[in-house]
Structure 1
Amino acid sequence: MPQPPQPPLWQSAREQARLLADALRTPSHAPTPVLASAKNRWLRKLPYLVALAAVGALLPVTMTVLAQDYGMADAGARALAVAQTAPLLLALTRPLQAWWIVFAADVIGGAALIGADHVAGNSWPWPPTVVIGYLVLMAFLGLRESRRTLVGVWLATGAASVLFELIRSDLSDGIWVLMIVLSAVVLVVTGALRERGEVQRRLAAQETISEAERARRTLLEERTRIARELHDVVAHHMSVITVQADSAPYRIAGLPPEAREEFGAIAVSARESLTEMRRLLSVLRSEDADGELAPQPGISRVQQLVEATVRAGVPAELSLSVGASPVPQTVDLSAYRIVQEALANVVRHAPGAVTRISLTSDGTHLTVVVVNGPADPANPPGPPLESVGTGHGLVGMRERVRLTGGTLDTGPLPDGGFRVAARLPLTTPPPPASNPTSTSMEDDE
């Protein structure tokens, strides 16, 4: 005859009992020392000192108490004392296994003391030495095992205490209640400390991951911005090529048919390249990128940038000596962005600092130098400017210098100021190496 279905409450209780039994059988951690992950050296050694002190003090005292106060035979007292105290050394790395040994020894000891000569008038079923050793073991357990394991240990302790009380309540002096309460307190406190440490470690790991992701996102954002600006630069030249190729047969008389076909093919290829670049730009350009359709700035707008910085409360001086040498559009834009980011850092991190900006050209390289002194303590940070920068600081400078094939040097000065120096080639740069830029400090963003 089929059995009636069990009530859901009973099934839930059985499942919880099974989980508790599994938790008591299987440790929730590898056999590593208690507090092994602590940063403080003395804190890592503390469990060893506690275990050695507990075993060294409790072992002889337990032997004496069992033999003299309770009248147990010497051999039995020695064996029981060793079983109840020595496993505390094992608890340094395997507290759950040590608890099984100590708990079994304590239960056997409680049962053996029922027939002892002088048990009346003494604490039973747990002698005071048993309570002290058991609480030390609870502390080791709470610092290592999971919450479910701790609940199982406490329930087993309470069940054994109640069982002894039911068997011989006339011998009990109420120490079983003290055992249950104190073990619960120790498990709760040490378990809370363990969980707090785990939460702090997870938060630290998450912060490390978040910082790495933030740096990666900053780099990707700046590269995307450079790609958009590079499109504007290249698109201009491609448009000129298209117009020149289309108009060549009309501007140059006597062109052979082969040359006309070649110019036509060049114009078609240029138009196809422009179409592909516009498709790429539609992916890179975000919908909320205000001002990205405006003409790209260059060295000619550095003076306006410096004037805006002066209005923000930063005394800045500009020395501009570029000469008549043509400046490639990518270098022109990169030089402006480098000055922009350098001045933005001054406004944010060194308000009121005297700043000198220098742009010089020797015909082959453009040198950009921005040097600021220490911040003026009496000058608060200035208000945001229209040209405060992309917000990517030295990361953006490195990427722009890498684009042009130049070099970048940044670092603090002895007087507390900061220096940014970039050297950008005015000719076609060679293929970039794996790390063409050299910097002396990390981004201060």
Structure 2
Amino acid sequence: MSTAPSRTSDHTRDHKGDRTRESLRALGVALATPTAPGAPLLAEASSRWLRLLPYALAFAFVASLLPSTVTVLANDYGVNGAIAGALATAQTTPLLLAVTRPLQAWWIVLAGDVLGALVLLGADGVAGRPWPWTPMVVVGYLALMLAVGLREPRRTLLGVWLVTGAAGFAFELLPRPHGDGTHLLMFVLSGVVLLLTGTLRERGDAQRRLVEQETISEAERARRTLLEERARIARELHDVVAHHMSVITVQADSAPYRIEGLPEAAREEFSAIAASARESLTEMRRLLAVLRSEGTEGERAPQPGLDRVQQLVEATVRAGVPAELSLPAELGPVPPAVDLSAYRIVQEALANVVRHAPGAPTRVSVTSADGRLTVLVVNGPPDRARSPLESGGTGHGLVGMRERVRLTGGTLDTGPLPDGGFRVAACLPLTAKEPV
């Protein structure tokens, strides 16, 4: 009968342990995350309690150190009560400022500590007690070094450490009742704290710069991919446009021979049209040379169209993907750019299926209605029993599809299906339309 409560207690302890580990992990990430100058420590933390943690710790240190410092100075060192309160305030309250301005807080605390050491030098109770730094000064100073190390650069930390050591060793040169080595203890401990916290901060800086660089690289990669795909589409469309320009040239050159009785002005006009068409073809070839990547050669085969979609599906079946095609026997007149774009969309979609969803049943459908050509490629979930097949894509996947659809003024809808499959649907206008 006691098994169920025991299991419940174990589950509760495990849950609390998980929350504790998550909190510590979040605290470590927050400490390693650089904070903007002037912003509170841990200002970039994700949870509210982490952002308030530095204020709570600073308040706790001040609330405990302030009365303790006053008591030690007044009772143990024999300092006047008013002077002890003033020194304790100067040595502890700047810890509240350290949450946002640690370096400024350090200057105030250092001045208060040095002034306190000078006051203690003439105090009656200093003999046999730590000097120049009291135990409360060491504790408060190390807490301040924690805030400084998490916020300031390496050069500043080195300067703070050297000034700390110089101040302590300078007091060793003065007449004193004894030498207990507190200056050396402060110098060593402050260096250790600054080293650890500075290393943690620099590691966070390096991680932040790496993330920023990866973000920039990803954006540049996406931009380069888009430009490459646009250049590739432009090279492919060169044949389409060149064909039309060649037809115009032939028609303009042959018009005077095909049409009898043309006036001389009309003959000159046809000659001018033919010359302009030939000049345009020459400029297009120059443009193609600019768009062609270095080390690549132009394609000598004619640009494909929907008449070759059946071959794509058959090749996909041979690659191990059960695919079927629905293509009407007569689609009607299809503009060359739309014909080429539809073929490339089907080609890229099938390549993605082979590459990312091996063995997935796939259906390809091409229909024409209401002046629009609809291309639909739908695949089911991949066959997990088969190993993924590698297949070289013809472009850059969805980026190329979007650019081709944008070029023809159509629309593209892609996305996963509830059953784990994927859907690619492109709607291309069969009449001339400005690209969106």
Q: TM-score range by the shorter chain?
A: 0.7 to 0.9
Given that 2:353 and 2:360 are in contact with CA atoms closer than 8 Å, whether structure 1 keeps it comes out as: yes
Correspondence for 2:166 among 142, 159, 169: 159
- Offset at residue 269 of structure 1 (A): 1.2
Instruction: Tell me, in whole angstroms, the C-alpha distance in 1 between the residues paired with 2:148 and 2:287.
Output: 60
- Offset at residue 169 of structure 1 (A): 5.8
Give the length in aligned residue pairs: 402
Q: Which moved more, 1:275-284 or 1:32-41?
A: 32-41
Q: Deviations over 1:100-158 (max 9, x none)?
A: 11111111111211222221221111111000000011111111112111111111110
**Pair 1:425 & 2:429 matched:** yes
Instruction: Report the counterpart of residue 31 of structure 2 in structure 1.
Output: none
Task: Determine helix, strand or coil for the equivalent of 1:378.
Answer: coil
C-alpha change, 1:339 and 1:291, in structure 2 (3 Å) is farther
Given that 2:331 and 2:367 are in contact with CA atoms closer than 8 Å, whether structure 1 keeps it comes out as: no
- Offset at residue 296 of structure 1 (A): 1.0
RMSD, aligned α-carbons: 1.8
Task: Determine helix, strand or coil for the equivalent of 1:321.
Answer: coil
Matches within 5 A, 1:162-173: 162-168=169-175, 170-173=177-180
Q: Deviations over 1:69-96 (max 9, x none)?
A: 1111111111111111011111111111
Runs of 4+ in 1 over 4 A off after TM superposition: none
Instruction: Report the counterpart of residue 379 of structure 2 in structure 1.
Output: 372
Given that 1:366 and 1:425 are in contact with CA atoms closer than 8 Å, whether structure 2 keeps it comes out as: yes
Instruction: Tell me, in whole angstroms, the C-alpha distance in 1 between the residues paired with 2:170 and 2:362.
Output: 83
Matches within 5 A, 1:6-405: 30-168=37-175, 170-290=177-297, 292-323=299-330, 325-362=332-369, 364-385=371-392, 388-390=393-395, 392-405=396-409
Instruction: Tell me, in whole angstroms, the C-alpha distance in 2 between the residues paired with 1:30 and 1:132.
Output: 25
- Offset at residue 43 of structure 1 (A): 2.6
- Offset at residue 362 of structure 1 (A): 3.2
Given that 1:322 and 1:366 are in contact with CA atoms closer than 8 Å, whether structure 2 keeps it comes out as: no
Given that 1:407 and 1:422 are in contact with CA atoms closer than 8 Å, whether structure 2 keeps it comes out as: yes
Identity across matched positions, percent: 72
- Offset at residue 273 of structure 1 (A): 0.9
Given that 1:309 and 1:316 are in contact with CA atoms closer than 8 Å, whether structure 2 keeps it comes out as: yes
Given that 2:79 and 2:120 are in contact with CA atoms closer than 8 Å, whether structure 1 keeps it comes out as: yes
Instruction: Report the counterpart of residue 437 of structure 1 in structure 2.
Output: none
Given that 1:322 and 1:359 are in contact with CA atoms closer than 8 Å, whether structure 2 keeps it comes out as: no
Gaps of 5+ in 2: 1-34
